[in-house]
Amino acid sequence: MAKTILITGASSGIGAGMAREFAQKGYNLAICARRLERLEQLQQELESKYGVQVSLKVLDVTDYDQVFEVFRAFKQEFGSIDRIIINAGVGQGRRIGKGNFEINRATVETNFISALAQSEAAVEIFREQNAGHLVMISSMSAVRGMPKHLTAYGASKAGVAHLAEGIRAELIDTPIQVTTIFPGYIRTEINEGAGKLPFEVDEKTGSRLLVAEIEKAPIKAYVPKWPWLPLGLAMKVLPLKWVNKLG
C-alpha cells in the first residue's frame, strides 16, 4: 500500500515542488494551503501524471482550530499518515525599529505559532499510530541572527528548529522520527522580486534536493548540502559582520 505524505503550504514554491517530487516516487498526497484553485490544479496534474491519490483541503495555518480539523480529516480519509511536512510560512519581514511591527508580528506568528499548532496536530496523529515522520522546514537564516528583512523571519525559523529538536527529544525512544531541514536560498514565488541571492538554486532543483534529504530521514540536513553544510558550521563561529554578508 502506498504511503501518504501531508504537506502544508503546498499551493506554490517548494511545497508544490516537493509534492511533485513525492508523487513521482509513488506517494499518495494530502495537500493543503489557502489557495483552492492552485491546489486543484496541482491535484489534477499529479493524479493524471503519476496516478497517485491526491486529496486537498483549504487551510489557513493561522486558524489554529482549522489546523487540527484538517489534519484529523486527512487521517480519517487515508487511515494513516506516514509523513507530515510543516512547510507553510511567509517570507516577509522588515528592519526592526522602522515602524513595521505588524508585518514582523504576522511573520513570526505564521512561521512559529502556526508551526506549533501543526506540530501538535501532527504528533497527536503519530502518537495514536505509534509511527510517523515529522519534517520541519526551517531555514539557513535560523543558524545565526540575521540583519535587515531577515531578523524576525530568521528568529521565527530558529524557533521552529528548536521546537522540532524538543519534539525529537520527547519522542527519542519511540518509532516516531523527527527531521529538521535548513534550506538555503531557493528561488520561488516568495522571493521572486529579490535580487541575486547567495548560492541560490531554482525551485525544481531545490525541491528535488529537499525530497532526497527528507527520504533519508536525517536528524537535520542543510539543503543544498554544498555549500550550506560547511557554511552552516562556519556561520556558528564567524564574526557577525561576516555572517551579515549572507543576509
pLDDT at 2: 82
* Band (196; pLDDT cuts 50, 70, 90): confident
**Weakest mean pLDDT among 89-93, 160-164, 220-224:** 89-93
* Band (193; pLDDT cuts 50, 70, 90): low
* Band (198; pLDDT cuts 50, 70, 90): confident
- Please state, in angstroms and as integers, the Cα–Cα distance from residue 154 to each residue in 38, 83, 136, 212, following that order: 27, 25, 14, 24
Helices 150-170 and 101-108 pack at an angle, to 10 degrees, of 20
Average pLDDT, the chain: 96
Kindly list the structural domains of the chain, giving each domain's residue range(s) and its CATH number in brackets, ordered by start. 4-246 (3.40.50.720)
Q: How far apart are CA 45 and CA 191, in angstroms?
A: 24
Provide mean pLDDT across the span 114-123: 98
* Band (188; pLDDT cuts 50, 70, 90): confident
pLDDT at 190: 63
Q: What torsion, rounded to 10 degrees, do the Cα atoms 114, 115, 120, 125 define? A: 110
Q: Of these residues, 27, 50, 64, 153, which one is catalytic?
A: 153
The answer on pLDDT for 1 being more than 90 is no
pTM: 0.96
27 is catalytic: no
* Band (192; pLDDT cuts 50, 70, 90): low
Q: What is the pLDDT of residues 4-16, one digit of tens each?
A: 999 999 999 999 9
Provide mean pLDDT across the span 63-72: 98
